[in-house]
Chain A
Amino acid sequence: MDRAQALRANAAGLAKADYLGNPSTLCKGCGHNSIANQIVQVAFELSLRPHEVLKLSGIGCSSKSPAYFLGMSHGFNALHGRMPSVSTGALLANHTLHAIGVSGDGDTGSIGLGQFKHLVRRNVRMVYLIENNGVYGLTKGQFSATADEGQELKYAGLNDYPAVDLCLEALAAGCGFVARSFAGNAKQVRELLKAALAHRGTAVLDIISPCVAFNNEDTSRKSYAFGRDHEHAMQDLGWIPPQEEIVIEPTEPGEARVVGLHDGSKLALRHLEAGYDPTNKRMAAERLLRAEVEGEFLTGLIYYDPSRPSLAETTHVGEAPLSSLPDEALRPTPEALASVLARY
């Protein structure tokens, strides 16, 4: 970014530079760095107030990346596969925070699959990003559970097992916002991020994010070259702020459609695939399964259903975060103690 852009302030009075984190220690060209950059850009464009954002992650290359964006926001780099439970607890304590969780395919698809599915089930309000590259990077190139069956890698050899499709898993667990994207498609990543931040529930973004060190051969379905050549975007996406008027020009082959998001903003979808309805769960599941069979690399908003209550709503907690309750709200009175003890 040039200096002038870096210093221009947004509605929160902050410049883009204010949303940066520490310099990345990931490999040059890693898809995760690109995603971190999009998070910075989106936070700036949305004028997020850093103190209202909470960054969370598990363990792995992906999970290091919250250190590389939004340096003025609190962060919790938790345990391998356990980011969902930490997020759940933190957001029970303070449901007013915008939580951005960053996980990887090992963190979510293997060691943390259980916690991931239960987070989604509870509909904890957060953006759950999976930086999905099909391999373990820090341990030097083992297959992850999202690697394609039959794939061969120099270190790991042949992968004998079918890939776990994390969008399908999210869908099956009751997720109301399921999207897939490609780190090489920066605009789509940004638009999906904005919509995900507006969603009052768990928004899962499975972003194919190539690993330049261990899984970027042109033949790999998690490589930049494959993504560029085969990405099949289901929609052109445009996020629209709450105040803005919507003007959409329908174009063939798809028709334009606008979905309202929880905070009053909207997401305009110009369908590139005739007949696909992202609010139809069965269609979403069938489309994902077909993509798997036909080897397609689908991106876009796969499923959207804003109707399920978030965990904060299910637990009926009041407006004030539990973390901000004054002492007198925390400790009942001596009379209350006497009244309970009278029963014993």
Chain B
Amino acid sequence: MTTVETASPDVGDRSPIVNDFSLVVATANGTGSQTANLTLLRTFFQMGIPVHGKNVFPSNIQGLPTWYHVRVSEQGYVARKESELLIAFNPATLDADLRALPTGGVAVLRDDVHPTVARDDLTVYRLPVKKLLEVSTAKGKVREYLANMTYVGVVAWMLGAPLDVVEAALGVQFSGRRKLVDANLEVVRAAFDWANEHLEKRDPFRVAPMNATAGKLLMTGNEAGALGSVFGGVSVAAWYPITPSTSFVDALREYLPELRRDEEGRPTYAVIQAEDELAAIGMVVGAGFAGARALTATSGPGLSLMAEFSGLAYYAEVPAVVWDVQRVGPSTGLPTRTSQGDVAFAYRIGHGDTKHAVLLPSSLEECFEFGWRALDLADELQTPVFVLTDLDLGMNTWMGTRFAYPDEPLKRGKVLTAGEIEAHGFARYADVDGDGVGWRTLPGNVHPGSAYFTRGTGHDARAAYSERSEDWLENMARLARKYETVRARVPAAEVDQVDGADVGVVYFGTTRYALEEARDALAAQGVRFSTLRLRALPPGPEVRAFLEAHPTVVVLEQNHDAQACTILAGEFPDLAPRLRAAAYLDGLPYTAGFVAERLRPYLTAKEA
């Protein structure tokens, strides 16, 4: 049996690799490494280097393995990438983690672990964690957490990150609480100084200051979506805890007390933890009916329970916003892994004939924007609006451009005042404007003619119970007109059409990061294709035009059943033969390399 020693391969003559690598921290769940990981991430960010952090974690509170990937990319690529640098702090996965490293990789090991894997093609640094912790007087759990700061110090030394930047990053991490910053910094410094004295830098990886993060922020998609919802005027939020959406509501509960109070300091909002997702969306529908902007946040299993109310809200035409932070199903599935597996379900959720507005944000900026826009759309269209993100976007830390304040006033939709009823009369489901969206009234309207009876049963234009075929057909025809209004109002797809390209690729959500990196790499090889990034369903006319312009359209999505591809085939049956399904899901975000290989069979090189 060979053990890995602190010896190193002959890599001294390799040219430096600056600001272009991926680092993975392997720890056990519940050991408090998140602070250390985010400190590293923020350190690089403060140095002006584009970064992204991805947590691959188990459904567990304590003990199971977890990996935190930090991608550092001069070019701004943030897709998942196999890591060249490993911080191996989990003995349980040590061998497997070492095996996963590419030749020329780097491993930082605690000096009290002994791997059985022989890798003479790596640079290995050993770290006396217990000895380094001697500088700290902290005890128990805190001491255990502080142990993670030793790798922060060593990584700073190894990559050349200045300690004052690490200190600033700790300041952000601990919201400026000096005592905590100092306690952590002490350990970081001890490790840094020890490494400086005892280790010899033998690997090629470096960071160097850039100016690529000015005006940017680091945040999770759930935080961005929650903040956007606050700026969309959300007043009622009802929810039931479920990974990976829980932190969306946590963020709401952080922002709302700060941003939404009346002159007397009383809240102008209510957040209710419901007994289940049935009740959560029921509260949202009740609030929407009564005139308050309301949302819920959930994931697939919760969305399953929301099917009943989604159908009612569609047919009774009640505004509601549902954030679905997707994870892998069916059933409990892989509860802490990312997916785009709810697209078809959300789009058609409800029995009978239902087709919903589905927004598909791909970035922090879009999470923020769709946060307020979804509430506008729900009110304007009087219908539930589903915002589908995923665990990768929702829970991981991304770099984004500082959000623009909403550039449009709030849109409260068609709500009649008593005076307007007096002047024009009122019939709840009459298509007065020809766009399929009727005018509604809110409870509390003093006009004696304002009341109507909201129901899921068949109804006529005045909301009266009806089983007449004519009334049913008329109502469904109006809903079909309304669907076209929905199509016109939801965010349009982003199209990048390449002249002369025969192949187009359709994608959405977090798939963009690997796809866009792969697109650049393939373009460098002379392989070019057009792209269309869906930002909502139903698909607009630009999607039809894209299908018409390309004989082959590959739909790349993170699920098994090619759900978006099937929806497009249904929306544009005449063009369906052009569609090619490239669905794939294994629980991990795509890498650019994977995407390039996935697309290659459809593509041919063209002379540039």
Contacts and interface: CB of A to CB of B under 8 A. Distances in A.
B453 A89 contact: no
Interface of A: 22, 50-52, 54-55, 66-67, 71-79, 82, 84-94, 96-97, 114-115, 118, 122, 315-318, 320-325, 327, 329-332, 334, 336-337, 340-341, 343-344
23 contacts: A22-B464, A51-B450, A74-B450, A76-B454, A82-B279, A85-B279, A88-B279, A89-B284, A89-B286, A89-B289, A89-B294, A92-B283, A94-B291, A114-B276, A118-B279, A317-B268, A318-B268, A322-B269, A325-B233, A327-B409, A330-B233, A331-B232, A336-B258
A331 B276 CA distance: 29
A343 B290 CA distance: 35
Interface in B492-507: none
A322 B308 contact: no
B267 interface: yes
A304 B235 CA distance: 32
A157 to B, nearest CB: 30
B278 A51 contact: no
Contact of A323 (B284, B291, B455): B291
Contacts of A90: 286-287, 289-290, 443
Contacts of B444: 51-52, 94, 96-97, 321, 323-324
A315 B267 contact: yes
B217 A71 contact: no
A315 B451 CA distance: 28
Nearest to B283: A89
A73 B255 CA distance: 36
B278 A341 contact: no
Contacts of B290: 54, 89-91, 93-94, 97, 323
Nearest 10 CB-CB pairs, A to B?
A: A89-B286, A85-B282, A330-B233, A323-B291, A93-B292, A89-B283, A93-B290, A86-B286, A89-B287, A90-B286
Interface residues of B, number: 75
B266 A71 contact: no
B601 interface: no
B294 A93 contact: yes
A325 B233 CA distance: 10
Nearest to A73: B451
A76 B217 CA distance: 44
B451 A85 contact: no
A77 B285 CA distance: 12
Contact of A50 (B259, B448, B455): B448
Contacts of A323: 235, 287, 290-292, 442, 444
B403 A337 contact: yes
B231 A85 contact: no
Contacts of A324: 291, 444
A121 B534 CA distance: 44
Could you say which of B233, B288, B409 has the most chain A C-beta atoms within 10 Å of its C-beta?
B233
A94 B293 CA distance: 12
Contacts of B441: 74
A330 B293 contact: yes
B283 A86 contact: yes
B53 to A, nearest CB: 13
Contacts of B287: 89-90, 92-93, 322-323
Given A93-B287, A331-B232, 17 more contacts: A75-B451, A76-B454, A76-B455, A77-B453, A82-B309, A85-B274, A89-B283, A89-B286, A90-B443, A93-B288, A94-B443, A114-B279, A322-B270, A323-B444, A329-B260, A330-B293, A344-B223
Interface in B439-494: 441-448, 450-457, 464-465
Contacts of A71: 451
Contacts of B10: none
Interface string B273-307: 01110111111111111111110000000000000
A91 B293 CA distance: 13
B353 interface: no
A74 B289 CA distance: 10
B38 to A, nearest CB: 12
B465 A67 contact: yes
Contacts of A93: 235-236, 286-292, 294
Given A78-B312, A89-B236, A344-B219, A334 B291 contact: no
A318 B231 CA distance: 20
B453 A79 contact: no
B197 interface: no
B446 A115 contact: no
Nearest to B269: A322
Given A82-B309, A336-B259, A344-B217, A87 B235 contact: no
A89 B282 contact: yes
A77 B268 contact: no
B178 interface: no
Nearest to B232: A331
A343 B173 CA distance: 10
A86 B446 CA distance: 22
B260 A332 contact: yes
A244 B264 CA distance: 35
A285 B220 CA distance: 50
A170 to B, nearest CB: 16
Could you say which of A67, A324, A332 has the most chain B C-beta atoms within 10 Å of its C-beta?
A332
B560 interface: no
Given A71-B451, A82-B282, A115-B278, A89 B288 contact: yes
A206 B451 CA distance: 27
B272 interface: yes
B253 interface: no
B203 to A, nearest CB: 32
A340 B443 contact: no
Interface string B545-584: 0000000000000000000000000000000000000000
B402 interface: yes
Contacts of A332: 230-231, 259-260
B286 to A, nearest CB: 3
Nearest to B411: A327
